[in-house]
Amino acid sequence: MSKRVTSGSELVISGISRAFGAVQALDRFSLTIAPGELVCLLGPSGCGKTTALRIVAGLEKSDAGTVMIDGEDLLAKDANQRDIGMVFQSYSLFPNMTVAENIAYGLRVRKKSKEQINKRVAEMLELVSLQSKMNSFPHQLSGGQQQRVALARALAIEPRVLLLDEPLSALDAQVRTQIRDEIRRIQIESGTTTLFVTHDQEEAMAISDRVGVMQHGRLEQIDTPNTLYNKPETTFVAGFVGITNYIPSVADSKNEVQVLGQVLEISEHSSVVKKGEEVRALVRPESIHVEKASHGAKIITKSFLGPMTRVGVDAGLAELIYAEMSSKEAKKFDTGDHVKISITTEMVMVESV
């Protein structure tokens, strides 16, 4: 990773709540983002991600709680006094202004000198690699280019915090990955403290220092992508981050569970269960081992994912069990093959059914 500039600001959100009629969009939501850090809020539709972001931006009021930047109370300020840069899903560029004029906009509003504006616009054009488009109008640019201009415009004012609300969702898959990586590069280069909102877990895991998984207006867990994936603290997080099999199982005791005929330890953070209770065990596809057999379970689907291949196995359960293996290993298997499946971890998370 490139060297981090740590001139960014610290953003501290403490116990903010917001109700819309009977809907509690945010429920005592708290989050601290370190200077220069990129945190993604991830969660299903309606979990309150956008509301949190809009409160920080000053576009929405909170019913309770505080938001501080470097120890300064943000909620007391109007939106345009907050020194915050925003990029939305829709490009929201000014259609009648050129790329350079769009980028200069916030600087003009702040009454910067012509020299300062020209210098900063040139820096921003270089940062997003759009020097050759400075005199183009938004309609002459691709979606990805427009989003880069929106990013340059947001960063031109040297915001204390950058807020990104699903900035990639209007782009098609290939451009999306490219712009995603570019946003991360630019964010690291500028050292800007950033809050990013998305419902796309791959996107969140790919670009964040930490990901906060939200449910019902609260943070369920916030951790590095690696920890979230490997050590989820709730079954909701385990299910939301990455693909998970939910395998019907029976608890042998409060510590052990029978899954596909194997006795496994129940991990902490699981639901509390009783001996004999029917539960679901959460098992990642990479923890399912598949070997050839003469009868029994059968491969129904086979999906090539590049270096990995995922197979869906009918093991007589209501849902297919998914196993992931290297694509080299997967050459041995075809749909219709009979297989034996086993679990390669000694510990699983379980939830009550």
Q: In the structure encoding, which two tokens stand for residue 93, read together?
A: 């560029």
In angstroms, what is the minimal distance from the CB of 60 to ligand ATP?
7
In angstroms, what is the minimal distance from the CB of 219 to ligand ATP?
12
Among 12, 35, 46, 137, binds ligand ATP (CB under 6 A): 46
State the residue for tokens 């945190």: 39
Among 48, 167, 212, 312, binds ligand ATP (CB under 6 A): 48
* DSSP string over 177-243: HHHHHHHHHHHHHHT-EEEEEES-HHHHHHH-SEEEEEETTEEEEEE-HHHHHHS-SSHHHHHHSS-
CA 194 to chain centroid, in Å, comes to: 13
* DSSP string over 332-344: T--TT-BEEEEE-
In angstroms, what is the minimal distance from the CB of 43 to ligand ATP?
6
Q: In the structure encoding, which two tokens stand for residue 278, read together?
A: 């029917």
Q: Nearer to ligand ATP by C-beta: 61 or 139?
A: 61
Contact call for residue 45 and ligand ATP (CB under 6 A): yes
Closest to 153 (Cα-Cα) out of 191, 103, 89: 103
Among 5, 7, 15, 20, binds ligand ATP (CB under 6 A): 20
Closest to 191 (Cα-Cα) out of 2, 339, 8: 8
Q: What is the C-alpha separation between 255 and 265, in angstroms, rounded? A: 6
Q: What is the C-alpha separation between 233 and 140, in angstroms, rounded? A: 47
Q: Nearer to ligand ATP by C-beta: 55 or 321?
A: 55
Contact call for residue 49 and ligand ATP (CB under 6 A): yes
Number of residues that bind ligand ATP (CB under 6 A): 12
Q: Nearer to ligand ATP by C-beta: 66 or 215?
A: 215
Contact call for residue 50 and ligand ATP (CB under 6 A): yes
In angstroms, what is the minimal distance from the CB of 40 to ligand ATP?
12
The window from 42-50, 74-82, 245-253, 317-325 that contacts ligand ATP (CB under 6 A) reads 42-50
Q: Are 190 and 155 in contact (CB under 8 A)?
A: yes
Contact call for residue 51 and ligand ATP (CB under 6 A): yes
Residues 164-203 as x/- pattern, contact with ligand ATP by CB under 6 A? -----------------------------------x----
Q: Are 249 and 242 in contact (CB under 8 A)?
A: no
Q: In the structure encoding, which two tokens stand for residue 116, read together?
A: 């300062």
The window from 9-17, 39-47, 64-72, 265-273 that contacts ligand ATP (CB under 6 A) reads 39-47
Contact call for residue 212 and ligand ATP (CB under 6 A): no
Three-state DSSP state, 329: helix
Residues 311-340 as x/- pattern, contact with ligand ATP by CB under 6 A? ------------------------------
State the residue for tokens 């895991």: 205
In angstroms, what is the minimal distance from the CB of 18 to ligand ATP?
8
Closest to 71 (Cα-Cα) out of 110, 27, 14, 26: 14
Q: Nearer to ligand ATP by C-beta: 20 or 94?
A: 20
Please report, as ranges, the residues that interact with ligand ATP according to CB under 6 A. Answer: 20, 23, 25, 43, 45-51, 199
